[in-house]
Structure 1
Amino acid sequence: MFSHKHLFVFFLAQYCVHLAYSQANVKFFRKDYYYLKEVRSFYKIHTLHKTWDDAKVQCEMEGAKLFYPDDDDEVTAVIDYWNSTQPFSWIFVGISTPNVKEVFETVDGIPIADVYDRWGPGEPNNAGGVEGCVILRRDGTLNDENCAKKFPFVCKKTLESLDWNNYCNIPDTAYEYNEAKGRCYKFHLQPMNWSDAYTVCNSEQSYLAIINDEAEANILANLTSRAPKDKVEGNYLRGAVHLGFKNNKGWKTIKGKPLRESGYSKWGGGQPDGGEQEKCGSMFYNGHLNDISCDQRLFFICEHEIDILSTDYALRFGEVFQPVTLNSTEP
């Protein structure tokens, strides 16, 4: 049994570190992003090729932006990192012609002339009249390209823009910490189909919420009740939210556990009733389960487990934080 004294010292040390070392000193965004101190930003090279629009959406889902270079120093730092890790000859960057052909702007609406505009010889040339997006070559030059083509890309998060959620140990303040469960939840107000919702939660280092008991069902129902759902317009199904279970040779959670063994399997009246047409899981606003078409657009809830005792967490705070050794034999 852990000593109360040791536990107190442990959490006091953790709290003090939070106060003494701001996120600007921790220099951590996500496990899959790399910090370049020369330009005080975090970067992720995406090796799965996507169209320009899909690349932009992917970065936004991760809480970042499609990278575009601010200046020569950033180009040098990113290309050095790129050269040391990947073989690509070019990448999509966050520059396009969103409003007028041949008028290039960043994803932040900044004219390219105000950031980095070192074009390759003869570029931009709008070949075939279809080149409205921009790639960065390995030599540091820019070239206009067809937005529908698929290329690797880089997402960027500046240290200055980071807003850390200390309760949930995640760079997203929209997650709410629940003390009873010791984990965090986020209600997403942008309706999506089940697969896209799953992807969004994963990109946030979380997963589509799984209900493990009646108390957790009440927590999610309360979160749903408080969300400003009525303000959201558009074509989507009201009355239910996507959750992390589906019919895969029987109803199972996304972690592979049969629903009846997960701790909670209270279906709504008459549910499940969709057969092969409704193989994804959802929750009525009252907390009862419902089967739904995987293509149906709904709100959804992500769940985040806090890893405050992991090695990675300690490393984020540097060598200053040394976990207290807990003696399990001391009363």
Structure 2
Amino acid sequence: MARVKYLFIYLLLQSVLEFTYGQPQVKFFRDDYKYLENTRSFYKVHTIQRTWENAKRRCAMEGASLFYPEDQNEADVVLTHLNETQPSYPWILIGISSKLAKGVFKTIDGLSVRQVYNKWGPGEPNDAGGDEDCVILRRDGTLNDDKCSKKHPFICKKTLASLKWNEQCNVPYMDYKYNEALGRCYKFHLNPLNWKDAIDACDSEHAYLAIINSQNEADYLVNITAEAPKDKVKGLYLRGAVHLGFSYDPSENGWRTNTGETLDGAGYAVWGNNQPDGGEDEQCGSMFYNGHLNDISCEVQKCFFICERENELLNILSERFGE
């Protein structure tokens, strides 16, 4: 009987995910992306202006890529969308640059600009000042080279053909893993960031920096930390700690999770020896690899981090069937 019940739940879940959520059949990627049928792709106009490198990085964080027009049709479709949503923008950054070889403009995929969209404005590219290695797309559909250090609006793109869907976690990111006992999904990030940037990275994946609510959850985070291939990651970052979603709240004179609970109220307040010990210099949260809590700088130290996401649909089904 139990097997029949679980089979029913699985089939129901599959059906709902297929026809309600983000499967390619219903053409959904993320709720902040717009699907355009004429190009069979999803787009997000970013109004917070960034440099070319930061725009490229932001799109990658969202599981997408910095947009560039592949042909005249895509340029027309996207510019029409831009005009309808952000009519005041005269241009946007696009994923074409000559950063690797001066004067040789290639896409972020390594294609020559001649293989995609090669409609330059009059006299462009002119490399004014000798440092115009990135490209903007003007509202009139022409390209212009510009400084990579300048901040501009930009668009991220995800093709329908490249979309894969994590059905267990209901996200377009296959590296989130569902833990049935905890009813949540987790991802261990191997790209060390500071605490504030880790918050942003989780948010870009429609998740949040992990919050420990029980000893069982702490044990699970310790386990996925131990299993992560951390030793293969090179560079300067703090070994031995992983960012988590809590920080010191001066107005409350205590540590609180990013959802506003005290650590005791959230269900886990096991600090490491002599922690917290950083005072005003360390007002954000992490855990040692053994699961004990640790205070850390919010902006200075880069660490690995864990994102957490609740799958509301799975939780509803679990509650419904008393599991």
1:174 counterpart SS class: coil
1:18 Cα shift?
5.1
Equivalent-residue separation in structure 2 for 1:215 and 1:262 (angstroms): 13
Instruction: State the match for 1:85 in structure 2.
Output: 85
Equivalent-residue separation in structure 1 for 2:12 and 2:6 (angstroms): 10
2:273 counterpart SS class: coil
Equivalent-residue separation in structure 2 for 1:256 and 1:16 (angstroms): 35
Equivalent-residue separation in structure 2 for 1:271 and 1:73 (angstroms): 59
Asked if 1:259 corresponds to 2:263, the answer is: yes
Q: Deviations over 1:61-115 (max 9, x none)?
A: 1111100000011111111111111021100000111222211011111110000
Instruction: State the match for 1:329 in structure 2.
Output: none
1:174 Cα shift?
0.6
1:6 Cα shift?
9.7
Amino acid at match of 1:292: I
1:7 Cα shift?
9.4
Asked if 1:73 corresponds to 2:73, the answer is: yes
Q: Deviations over 1:141-177 (max 9, x none)?
A: 1111111111100000111111211100001111110
Deviation >6 Å, runs of 4+: 5-8, 19-22
Asked if 1:270 corresponds to 2:274, the answer is: yes
TM-score of the superposition, structure 1-length normalised?
0.89
Equivalent-residue separation in structure 2 for 1:292 and 1:240 (angstroms): 9
Instruction: State the match for 2:125 in structure 1.
Output: 124
Amino acid at match of 1:299: F
For residues 108-147 of structure 1, what are the structure 2 equivalents within 5 Å?
108-147=109-148
Asked if 1:205 corresponds to 2:239, the answer is: no
TM-score of the superposition, structure 2-length normalised?
0.91
For residues 172-187 of structure 1, what are the structure 2 equivalents within 5 Å?
172-187=173-188
1:307 Cα shift?
2.8
1:308 counterpart SS class: helix
Instruction: State the match for 1:320 in structure 2.
Output: none
Instruction: State the match for 2:58 in structure 1.
Output: 58
**Higher RCO, 1 or 2 (CA under 8 Å, sep at least 6)?**
1
Indicate conservation of the 8 Å contact 2:90/2:139, yes or no: yes
For residues 144-223 of structure 1, what are the structure 2 equivalents within 5 Å?
144-223=145-224
Amino acid at match of 2:204: S
1:26 Cα shift?
2.3
Instruction: State the match for 1:319 in structure 2.
Output: none
Instruction: State the match for 2:303 in structure 1.
Output: 298
1:14 Cα shift?
2.8
1:24 Cα shift?
2.6
Q: Give % identity.
A: 58
Q: Deviations over 1:228-276 (max 9, x none)?
A: 1111121111111000001121211111112221111010111111111
Superposed CA RMSD in Å reads 2.5
Instruction: State the match for 1:41 in structure 2.
Output: 41
Amino acid at match of 1:51: T
1:10 Cα shift?
6.2
Asked if 1:226 corresponds to 2:230, the answer is: no
1:309 Cα shift?
7.3
1:127 Cα shift?
1.2
Amino acid at match of 1:241: V
Equivalent-residue separation in structure 1 for 2:224 and 2:216 (angstroms): 12
1:179 Cα shift?
0.2
- Choose which of 278, 286, 310 in structure 2 pairs with 1:282: 286
Equivalent-residue separation in structure 1 for 2:232 and 2:129 (angstroms): 43
Equivalent-residue separation in structure 2 for 1:203 and 1:49 (angstroms): 16
Equivalent-residue separation in structure 1 for 2:70 and 2:167 (angstroms): 30
Equivalent-residue separation in structure 2 for 1:308 and 1:18 (angstroms): 9
Q: Deviations over 1:305-324 (max 9, x none)?
A: 113279xxxxxxxxxxxx9x
Equivalent-residue separation in structure 2 for 1:142 and 1:279 (angstroms): 46
Indicate conservation of the 8 Å contact 2:183/2:314, yes or no: no
Q: Which runs of 5+ in 1 are unaligned?
A: 311-322, 327-331
Instruction: State the match for 1:25 in structure 2.
Output: 25
2:189 counterpart SS class: strand
Equivalent-residue separation in structure 2 for 1:20 and 1:91 (angstroms): 34
Q: Which runs of 5+ in 2 are unaligned?
A: none
Instruction: State the match for 2:12 in structure 1.
Output: 13
Amino acid at match of 1:234: G
Instruction: State the match for 1:244 in structure 2.
Output: 245
Q: Indicate how the Cα distance of structure 1 residues 20 and 78 shifts in structure 2: closer, same or farther if over 3 A, else same.
A: closer
Amino acid at match of 2:154: F
